[in-house]
Every structure is written in structure tokens, then in C-alpha cells.
Structure 1
């Protein structure tokens, strides 16, 4: 927003320096001052309008800042929620991995057990073959015994053997032999039955165990497949959450950058408001000086009128000639408001060398983005270069900290009817104050590196027509 500083201010201050005693004052000169006062009032009105617009921009920026902060809070809550969900998902993934590991161990155990049972079945096959051979031989023996018994009439032959004894001792011997034979037959039959039972039991047990283990192994493998499927789903969810997290973090970074830009814009608005306030103060001071000058001119006009009246009365009394009477008015010429000081050019504000030129498309050395460089930078080779002077006569409109400019002085000049604003930034110290009149070459501060600066230097700007109209300073410096 353009900040127009009154050219009348410089004219007024320059006019104050002109001796006014002894001048022939006319109504025209008073009218000129009244016009200048009206111009200042119009300029004050324009500044008030600019201030009102700036205040509207400031409030709008405040609303945007509040909305940005609210958006940041919402995004931060979403980030925290996603982070919690991501943490839970990662814990679930770890749990599934542990379960899968346990299931793999269980599968390995069951596989080992199946291998053991397989080995056991192989061993039982050998035992079964032995038992089957033993049973087969016993079957043959028993069949032979049964045929013998059948051929000999069954148990009757045993009675004949017993009762065929020739003596009691022979009877006992024969009875004992028969019992032995019968016990042997019984033992063979019992062993045969036991072997058959054991054979069936072993086969049944091993086959049942193997089947049970194989069924369990299938169930565990299905469980493993289910766990791996769940893990894949959790990994997909984790990737989705990470993508969401990245999006939210990117959004948060954008909001933070926007917030910073809004803060800087708000600060620039506040700086502009301060500059306008300083300009209004300067205009008020100029109006006061014009009013005082107007009063002096009016007083001089009265005194001049009284003097002329007295001279005319004295001339009438002396009956002087008309030519002599007219010669008494030879006291001076009509005065008009003098032109402001200045020869139409600026001097260098420092003896230091140029280190960076005016460039509307320069890459900013700190922010690393393309930003206009609205002035010329001067470096410091010696202590003398650090002395910063006013480029022309003028009035200080701003003297203080100004955003990224750091310690800054702004001076308003009127040269050949043209208004200019010069800006001197990054000063280490300031030796003038707002509203102060300065002369060309007068020291206003010392070169420094305050604000957004990469080293000691002076950033110098020239704004024809008022602030916010930057032009190449080297086009205006002798």
C-alpha cells in the first residue's frame, strides 16, 4: 500500500528557515500557505483512509491466523490419532509375528513328532513281522497239537497215560508230565492271544497318534496361514496410516508456513501503520508550523497596512507630490513560498562499495526463494564506511525497528517539486528521531547487520512519489 508523505512538510520547514522581517507581504502569499494547509489536511484524510484499510487488512489477517491456528490444532489432533492407531497397529503386527513364530515352532514340533511316529511305525512294522512270524509258527504248532489230540481222542489219552502207571511213583511222574504238556499248550495259546492283542493295539495306537498329529498339524498350518493373512492386512493398514501421517505432516508444514507468512504480513501491516502514524505526526507538525507562519504573515500584513496608511497620511500632511508619495513604497518585492532545498540529486549514503544491486528477481540469501531486492547494498571496507548519512535534505518519517529491515531510518524529501522517500536499513544504531529535520550529508546512523541480514552492510532504497514505489537507487545518485 502506498504511503504518501506530504511534500508540503519539507516546504514548510524550509520556509521556516527564511527570514521574513522586512518583506512586502501580499494576500497571495497567505493564500498560498492556506492552500498548503488544505493540501496537508487532504493528505491527512488520505492517510486516515489508508490507516482504515490497513486496520481492515490487519483484522482480516487476524481472522486468517485464528483459522490457521484452529486448522493446525485439528491436524495435530488427527496426527496424534493416526500416531496412536499406527502404534496400536505396529503392536498388533509384533503380536502377530510372535504368534506366527510360536505357530512355526508348534508346526516344527508336530513335524518332529510325526517323524518320530513314522519312525515308530517303521519299527513296529519290524516287530509286527516278528510277531506275525511267531504267531504263524504257533498257529502251526497248535494245529499240529489239535490234530494229534483229535486223532488220539482228545483228553482221553491223557487219562490212559495217567492210569497206565505201574506204581504210585510212576503215577505221579505221568501226572506231572501231562500237566506240563497241558500247561505248555495253555501257555502257547495265551502267548498267541497276547501277541495278537498287542499287535492290534500297537497298530491302532500308532496309526491313531499319527492321524491325530497330522490333523493337528493341518489345523496349525491353517492357523499360521490365517495369522500371516492378518499380518498382511495389518501391514497394509500400517502403510495406509504412514501415508496418512505423511499427508498430515505435509499439511501441518504448509499450515505452519502459512502461519509464518501471515505473521510476517501482520507485522508488515503493523509496521506500515506505524509509518503512517509517523507521517501523520509529521504532517501535524507541518500544519502547526504553517499556522504559525500564517499568523506571522497576517501580523506582518497588518503592520505593512498600518505602515502604508501612516505613510499616506504623512504624505498628505506634507502635500508631497504624487511621484514622491509613490516612491515611499520601495521596500521590497512580493514574496512567495520558496522552493524546497536540494539540487535534484542524492549523494551516496555511505562511502562503502556497492555489494548488491537493485534486482526485482533476486534469490533471497536467507529464505532461498525469489524475492525482489528493492534497493542497493553497500559494504564496509573501513571504519569510515560505517558512517551513514542522509542522501538529501528531508524529514525523518520513521526511525526504529522495521521487520526484516532491522534498525531502519526513512526520510521524506521534496526535490524540484517531486516527493521521494529514502530508506536506510540494517543499522547498528540510529542517531535521529521521527519528525526530525535533517540536512544532506548529516549522519543518521551506523552501518550494521540487524534484521534479516547476512553481514554488516547498508540496504538503501529510493521510492519516488512515496514509500512502496521502489526504484534503482543508482539512477538517482550522483
Structure 2
């Protein structure tokens, strides 16, 4: 549509240039018709452009709503990602704490391992000593080697103490080894659990990041689409603005042409009145001359004139033509008047008066003027438009639904002159004349009954 509209506008401009290049002398109703056709083309183009603009605007609005929904999802994902990030940070801090605990435990384990090693060395020494002395026999040797009873008692006490110490060392050795193994298992399990939780959190965050990336991609696509649509809409709006400016220019040209035709109609009316006045003057002079001749003959005649020999002749107007500025445009009955009406198949605001009669009933010009348009219209059917000059003011009459057109654009017509025949062309329910009166040029309809004797 963008590629086709500019050539059309260029064509209209070229047509306007050719049309305006024609000489301005004489009546050029065809030029007015061309201007109005060009304006109609521009208006159609404006409607197409406006529809395109509205479609783009609707699509842009829909995309914008879709984009807002995606951005809302992205904001929600941002919140979830931040939550996961905080959980990961908290877990990393816990892991660091656990690692610090592990380091401290390692130092404790190292000390415990040293104690266990020392005990192992002591126990090995004791075992070697027992092996050299034959095991428990060494305790007997110790007891029998006493030199007195009191020394024997002391040695018995010392032996018991050593044996209890050996049992204590062995028990502590077992307990320390069990504690060491348990601490190692707890720390390693805790660390493994934390590392596993960290992996899960990182996987969840990675999935959220992926979703966010996908949504960002969709947003970028929508933004690119929005930019394309907005660019196309701006182009359509520019074309619409150009077409609107051209339409305004055409309207000015049409008004100027209508005014020019109105001037011609006014001059034609002035010329008609001048000729009528001249004719009346010549008729009066002829009547005066005839009366003078009659008087002269009467004075010289030997026979007096008889009153019964004088016959008065009158020239009455045709029955269908009224006196004054306007006359009824057709015989028949009025079926619809000017103004609002309740019809399902026709305009609710009637801009004229309908006069019904048989098909073929003569249609006459309601007043003196110049035919500004004569042609066909989807609603009016065959129609005629006449521009009149009434006391220096422009008026326009319209005659629609004709079965036949008996005049042409640019023709000068007189009040009561037949211009066509009644019909039912266009949007019509039966044979009738649709008659309109406009103040000035076409576009300012008034009630015809206020001006024309109907």
C-alpha cells in the first residue's frame, strides 16, 4: 500500500496540473467535474491510509500489551533469580564456615592423631618389653624383687597403677580413634550436602537465567517489530498528511471553480435581465409608436372608431411555470419533506423534497442558471446540478433519480425549461424527483419550501 499510494498522488497532481492549464474563459463544468473526481480519489486514498494507520495502531497496541506482559514475567524472574542468588550466597557463606570448621577440625585431628601415635609408640614399647620379659612374669619379678614387706606393698601398688594405666591408654586410644572417625564423617557429610545444595541452586539459577534470556529475546523481537510498525505508521501518517493537504488544495480549487461558475451565472442573469428590459423598452416604444399611428389615423378618418372592434390579446405563462424567481420543478404530489425521517432503507436526515409522479414526467429548471454538473451518482442516480445567481447571491439546485437527462454541463437554462424526465434511478423506492436547494455552492442544504413554490 505504501508503494502504490505515492504514484497515485503523483498522478492526481499531474492531472491537476493539466486541468489547471486549460484556459479560464467560458463555462468549464467539466473542469469542476474533474476536480471533484480527483477530490473523490484523494478522499478514498485518505480513507485507505487512515484504515492502514488504525490497523498499525491496533497492532502496535497489541504488541505493547504483549511486551508489558513479558516484561512483567522478566521482573518476576528477576525476583526469583535474586532470591536464588541470595540463597547461593548464603550457602557459600555456610560452606566457607564449614571449611573453616574443617580447618579447625583438621588441626584438632592432627593433635589427636599425634596423641594416638604417641600412645601407639608407648603401647608398642610396652608390648616389646612384655615380649622380652615373657609377658606378665615381669610384674612378678618386680614384686619378688622387693627387699621388705613395705617395699612389696609399694611395688604391688605401683604394678596395679601401671596395669590400670595400660588399660586407660588402650581405652582412650579406642575412643579417640572413634571420635576422629566420627568427626571426619560428619564434616565430610556436611560439606558434601552443602556442595550438593549449591549445585542444585546453581542449576535452578541457570534455568531462571535461561528463561530470562528467552524472554529478553522475545522482548527484543517485539521491540524490533514495534519499531518497524511505528516506522510504517509514520510513513502512512506522512502520506495521509500529504493527501489531506492535496484534498484541501482541491477543495479550494473546487470552491474557486464553483465561484467562477456562479459569477458566470450571475453575469448571464444580468444579461438576461438586461435583454428583458431592452425588450420591454422596445415593446413599449413600439406600442407607443403604434398608438401614435392609431391616433393619427383616427384623427384623419371620416368614420369614428367603434369600441366593439378593439380586441385585447394576453400572453399567459405556461401552466407549469410560476411567476417570480422560482418555479415548481415537476408536477406531482410531495411524498417526503425536508428534515429528519424514519426510514430503514434511506437517509434519516432528508436534505430535500420528494415529488412523486409517473416515470417520464417532465422535469424543469426551478430557476435561471448554468448547469454545473450532470451525471450519475450511486445514491442520486441520474442527476443535474444548476448554479443560480439570485439578487447577486449564489444558490444551487439539485434534481435526482432522473430517468433521462435533457441538458449538459455548462449549458445555460431558463426557469421552466425542461432539463430531464422523472425516474427511479439510484437509491430509490419508486419514480419521483428528489429536489434540493443549497445556499451558495453545493453543501449547505436548506428547506426548498422556503424558497420554491411547491
Q: Please report the TM-score for the alignment, with normalisation by the length of structure 1.
A: 0.49
Q: Note if 1:189 corresponds to 2:150.
A: no
How far is 1:62 from its partner? 2.0
Alignment of 1:44-193 (within 5 A): 44-128=39-123, 133=129, 137-142=138-143, 181-193=148-160
Question: 2:170 aligns to what?
Answer: 203
Q: Is the 8 A contact 2:112 2:180 kept in 1?
A: no
Q: Secondary structure at the match of 2:241?
A: helix
- The SS at the match of 2:196 is helix
> 1:251, 1:187 → 2: CA distance?
94
Asked if the contact 1:114–1:210 (Cα under 8 Å) also holds between the matched residues in 2, the reply is no
Q: Among residues 244, 247, 265, which one is paired with 2:214 in the alignment?
A: 247
- Name the CA distance, whole Å, in 2 between partners of 1:269 and 1:86: 43
Question: Cα RMSD over matched residues?
Answer: 3.5
Contact 1:138 1:192 in 2 (8 A): yes
Distance 2:99 2:231 in 1: 61
- Which is bigger in relative contact order (C-alpha 8 A, separation at least 6)? 1
- Show the counterpart of 1:219: 186
Residue 279 (structure 1) aligns with = 246
1:136 CA displacement? 5.3
Change beyond 3 A, Cα 1:97–1:136: farther
* Unmatched 5+ stretches in structure 1: 146-179, 315-478
Give the drift of 1:96.
2.6
Cα deviation, residue 265, structure 1: 2.4
- Cα distance, 1:295–1:140 mapped onto 2, change above 3 Å: same
* Mapping of residues 297-312 of structure 1, within 5 Å: 297-298=264-265
Paired residue for 1:324? none
CA distance in 1: counterparts of 2:125 and 2:15, whole angstroms: 132
Q: Secondary structure at the match of 2:148?
A: helix
Cα gap change, 1:306 to 1:122, in 2 (>3 Å): closer
Tell me if structure 1 keeps the 8 A contact 2:81–2:209: yes
User: Do residues 259 (structure 1) and 266 (structure 2) align?
Assistant: no
Q: How does 1:374-453 map to 2 (within 5 A)?
A: none
**What is aligned with 2:311?**
none
Alpha-carbon shift at residue 46 of structure 1 (Å):
2.5
2:199 to 222, 232, 237: 232
Secondary structure of residue in 2 paired with 1:225: helix
Structure 2 counterparts to residues 27-38 of structure 1, below 5 A:
30=27, 33-38=28-33
Structure 2: how far apart are the matches of 1:297 and 1:7? 27
TM-score (norm 2): 0.51
| Partners of 1:291 and 1:12 in 2: CA distance | 15
Are the aligned partners of 2:77 and 2:208 in contact in 1 as well (CA < 8 Å)? yes
Question: What is the aligned partner in structure 2 of residue 293 from structure 1?
Answer: 260
Report the 3-state secondary structure (helix = DSSP H, G, I; strand = E; otherwise coil) of the residue aligned with 1:54. helix
CA contact under 8 A between 1:54 and 1:273: conserved in structure 2? Answer: yes
Deviates more, 1:123-132 or 1:232-241: 123-132
Q: Distance in 2 between matches of 1:36 and 1:301?
A: 19
- Cα distance in 2 for residues equivalent to 1:306 and 1:111: 130
Shift in Å, 1:71 = 1.6
Output the CA distance in 1 between the equivalents of 2:239 and 2:194: 66
Q: Deviations over 1:48-72 (max 9, x none)?
A: 2222222222222222222222122
1:9 is displaced (CA, Å) by 4.0
d(CA) in 2 for partners of 1:57, 1:124: 96
Residues 330-409 of structure 1: matches in 2 within 5 Å?
none
Q: Which residue of structure 2 lines up, in the alignment, with residue 405 of structure 1? A: none
Structure 2, unaligned stretches of length 5 or more?
Answer: 131-135, 283-454
Could you say if the C-alpha distance between residues 222 and 102 of structure 1 is closer, same or farther in structure 2, counting changes exceeding 3 Å?
A: same
SS at match of 1:252: helix
Q: 2: CA distance between counterparts of 1:307 and 1:141?
A: 174
